[in-house]
Amino acid sequence: MNKPVVASEETLTEPVVVSGIAPAAKAAAGPAYIVLAGISFSHFLNDTMQSLIASVYPILKDTYALDFAQIGMITLAFQFTASLLQPLVGHYTDKKAQPYSLAIGMASTFFGLLLLSIAQQYLVILIAAALVGLGSAVFHPESARIARLASGGRYGFAQSVFQLGGSFGTSMGPVLAALIVVPFGQGSIAWFSSIAGLAIVILWRIGRWYAPQIKAKKTAAIQARPDAPSSRRVAIALLVLVALLFSKQLYVSSLSSYYIFYLIDRFGVSTQTAQIYLFIFLAANAVGAFVGGPLGDRFGRKIVIWISILGALPFTLALPFAGLYASAVLSVIIGLIISSTTSSIIVFAQELVPHRFGMISGVFFGVAFGIGGLGAAVLGKLADHTSIEFVYQVCAYLPAIGLLAVFLPKLPRHAR
């Protein structure tokens, strides 16, 4: 089992460490389940609000006569903001932890939702989406740190619990949009600002738990483990993990942003019915994300990464040729398999660069958001020039990038 590592002066960081608790005692105590539940529930609330943006695309498209490229730009405005800022937030909190920043960042999401509910111009819609993305940029790096701090050494399990909240939050967006936003219109988005208010209260309480347990100080130099990968292997492994995250996140982004339109265009279902099908896919993602972390703790993260990305390939290849109900079944299988890699990829990266935990978490969360946003914009442009069905035929081959996992190093047993 990994022992926490703190950075030296040479790293130019002031790492967050737990005061007054020995590593062995901390691990023996086990996870802080209340804290994990609280941060996971906050992740649920955060991502529920974020997923509303994609869920109301059909309404925005019809109301303002947007094309698919403009829809993709809304996703890009939201996700690129988060992608750009998350590594910077993580780098800063590596030096000095900010326990109350989560509640403050959630206020950006609060105002973004209010602005989106009253937006009458395309530029205002883009600004509102960017504000929600800003809240995400502040939330993810520090909340991932809190999840690890509360893990009791079960890092994959803690990351999965954290991801579970976010995945279920993402899956709830289409359902809430179908039940509330579609019947009552764009203005009803303002009602969801109350969710942001609840999240602010919870995150403030978590900040009060977090604050007394941390201190910033310069410590002795890190002693490199003899069985740790070389710096060159670490750099290659990080690039491979980014590529693997690219294949996974771009495919999920294609379904999240355009699955509704695909079902409407190909099968003629209603918008509300299509949103229910999207919920089924996203719920399967949530279950897969939760299962993947503990499996990585038990069998090794590299094995889970291999199986989860390449294992989805046969089903993604079959999806463009399936009927309506078969598409629903395939989407569940794809969601379960492909999302199980998320926790393993993130924890693998954290183990490779333990003294830059906040920054590396921000980079990988940011890359996930950035890839999704950029991919949605590119896929939207492609759909305008071809068709939604053609987009899904192209995206079906993305899991084949999972073959790059062969270049990942074998981590020491304590860092599996």
> Which pLDDT tens digit goes with each residue over 246-264?
888 888 877 777 888 888 8
pLDDT for the residue numbered 384: 86
pLDDT of residue 227: 60
Residue 279 contacts residue 175 (beta carbons within 8 Å): yes
- Cβ density class 13-40: b for 16+ within 10 Å, e for less: bbbbbeeeeeeeebbeeebbeebbebbb
Phi, psi of 17 (to 5 degrees): -130, 160
Residue spans of the chain under pLDDT 50: 1-29, 216-223, 414
Q: SS3 letters for the chain?
A: CCCCCCCEHHHCCCCEEECCCCHHHHHHHCCCHHHHHHHHHHHHHHHHHHHHHHHCHHHHHHHHCCCHHHHHHHHHHHHHHHHHHHHHHHHHHHHCCCCCHHHHHHHHHHHHHHHHHHCCCHHHHHHHHHHHHHHHHHHHHHHHHHHHHCCCCCHHHHHHHHHHHHHHHHHHHHHHHHHHHHHHCHHHHHHHHHHHHHHHHHHHHHHHHHHHHEEECCECCCCCCCCCCCHHHHHHHHHHHHHHHHHHHHHHHHHHHHHHHHHHHHHCCCHHHHHHHHHHHHHHHHHHHHHHHHHHHHHCHHHHHHHHHHCCHHHHHHHHHCCHHHHHHHHHHHHHHHHHHHHHHHHHHHHHCHHHHHHHHHHHHHHHHHHHHHHHHHHHHHHHHCCHHHHHHHHCCHHHHHHHHHHCCCCCHHHC
Do residues 414 and 341 lie in contact, with contact meaning Cβ atoms separated by under 8 Å? no
Per-residue model confidence (pLDDT) at position 127: 92
Of 65, 82, 55, 52, residue with least CA distance to 122: 65
Cα torsion at 355, 358, 359, 364 (round to 10°)?
A: 110
Give the whole-angstrom CA distance, residue 197 versus residue 135: 13
Q: What is d(CA 356, CA 92) in angstroms, rounded to the nearest whole number?
A: 10
| pLDDT at residue 210, as a whole number | 83
Bridge partners, 18 (sequence order) = 214
> Looking at residue 133, what is its pLDDT?
86
pTM, 2 dp: 0.65
What is the predicted pLDDT for the residue at 15?
Answer: 40
Q: Give the rounded distance of the alpha carbon of 189 from its chain centre.
A: 22
Rounded to whole angstroms, how far apart are CA atoms 326 and 392? 15
Q: Looking at residue 33, what is its pLDDT?
A: 84
Residue 396 to residue 111: CA distance in whole angstroms: 37
Give, in degrees to the nearest 5, the angle at Cα 314 between 313 and 318: 115
d(CA 313, CA 401): 10
The pLDDT value recorded for residue 19 is 38
